[in-house]
Amino acid sequence: MVKPIRKAILPVAGLGTRFLPATKAVPKEMLTVVDRPVVQHVVDEARAAGIEHIVFVTGRNKGVIEDHFDRQYELEDTLNERGKTQMLEMLRHETMGPGATSFTRQQLPLGLGHAVWCARDIIGNEPFALLLPDMLHKPTNGKGCLAQMAEAYAKTGGGNHIAVYEVPPEQTDQYGIVGLGDEVADGVHRIAGMVEKPKKDVAPSNLAISGRYILQPEIFELLATQERGAGNEIQLTDSMLKLAREQDFYSVTFDGAIYDCGSKLGFLMANVAYALDNPEIADTFRPELDALLAKN
Ligand code: UTP
C-alpha cells in the first residue's frame, strides 16, 4: 500500500528582499490576501489535502508566524462574551491543534534545499509534502493543488510529484522548467528532465515548477551533502535531479491560477482575484474596482 502523506514542510526563512520595505519587520508570509495571511491560505490548502502536521522552517524575525497559529485565549474569551460565535468558530477551525505544528530554525538562509533539510528529523522516514508559502495556488474547481497532487500520488502508487503550470515561452529563463515523458494518468506525466532557468530556445517545455511537491525521504540524504549550486545556494532542484536517477518523478499540471506573493505584482493580483471570489465583499468590490479602472 502507498504510504500516506501526513506531514508538510513550509519553508518561511527567506528574507523577502523583493518586497522591501514591507518585509523589513513583517514576514512576507504574514502579508494579507483579503482577510488572512498568505501563509494561512497555504496551510488551509495543506489541511484540505489531509495533512496532519506542519513543519515551519523559520528564521529570525518570523516569530509572529508561530503566534498566528497559536490559540489566543483573551481574544476567544472576548468574542465569546460578545456573542460572536461565528467568528470564534472560524478562528478555532483555522488553528492547528496542539502538537500539530513544529517550528525549526534554518539559522542561515542558505537556500531552499537547505531549508528543507532542516526539517529532516521532524519528518523522519516518510514521504512528505513541501509547499512554498509565498506561492498561492487558486484552484479552478475548488480542489486545492496539493489535493490534486495527492490524488495523482495515489494513482501512480507513490513516487515523487511536482506541480507545474504553463508560463509564457519567453519567460522560461525565470523558472525551474520540466521536460515531460509519457502521460500516466489524466494531467499526470513522467518527468523526463528538469532545468533551472533555461532560455526559450533550449527549454524542454514551458511548464514551470510551481512550488508544490510530494517528495520521498531519500531526498534528505542527498541534501545532506550541502553542495552549493546556482547563486551559491543549496538548491532543491540539484538533489531532485540526483534522486530522479533512482526514483520516479511525475508532474501534475495544476488546474487553476498561481500568484507569486513574494513579488509586488503577484501579491496585488492575488488580492484582486481572491476578493472577486469572496462572497462577503465580491458584490461591493467589483463595481468599486470597475469604477477605479474607468478613472485611471
Ligand atoms: P524565495 O527565493 O522566493 O524567497 O524562496 P526569498 O529568498 O524570501 O525571496 P527574495 O528573492 O529575497 O524576495 C522560496 C521559498 O523558500 C524559502 C522562502 O521563505 C520562500 O518561501 N526559503 C528560501 C527559505 O526558507 N530559506 C532559504 O534559504 C531560501
Ligand 1 mean position to 18 CA, how many Å?
10
Atom of ligand 1 nearest to the CA of 12: 19
Q: What does the domain layout of the chain look like in residue ranges?
A: 7-295
The end-to-end CA distance of the chain, in Å, is 58
Instruction: Choose the residue to mutate in 17, 114, 116, 134 for probing ligand 1, maximizing ligand atoms within 8 Å of C-beta.
Output: 134
11 lines ligand 1 (CB under 6 A): yes
CATH level 3 topology of 7-295? Spore Coat Polysaccharide Biosynthesis Protein SpsA; Chain A (3.90.550)
pLDDT in tens, the chain (296 residues): 788 899 999 999 988 899 999 889 899 999 999 999 999 999 999 999 999 999 999 998 899 999 999 888 889 899 989 999 988 988 888 888 899 999 999 999 999 999 999 999 999 999 999 999 999 999 998 899 999 999 999 999 999 999 999 999 999 999 999 999 999 998 899 999 999 889 999 999 999 999 999 999 999 999 998 888 878 888 899 999 999 999 999 999 999 999 999 999 999 999 999 999 999 999 999 999 999 999 98
The number of CA neighbours under 13 Å toward the Cβ of 82 is 10
Q: What is the total residue count of the chain?
A: 296
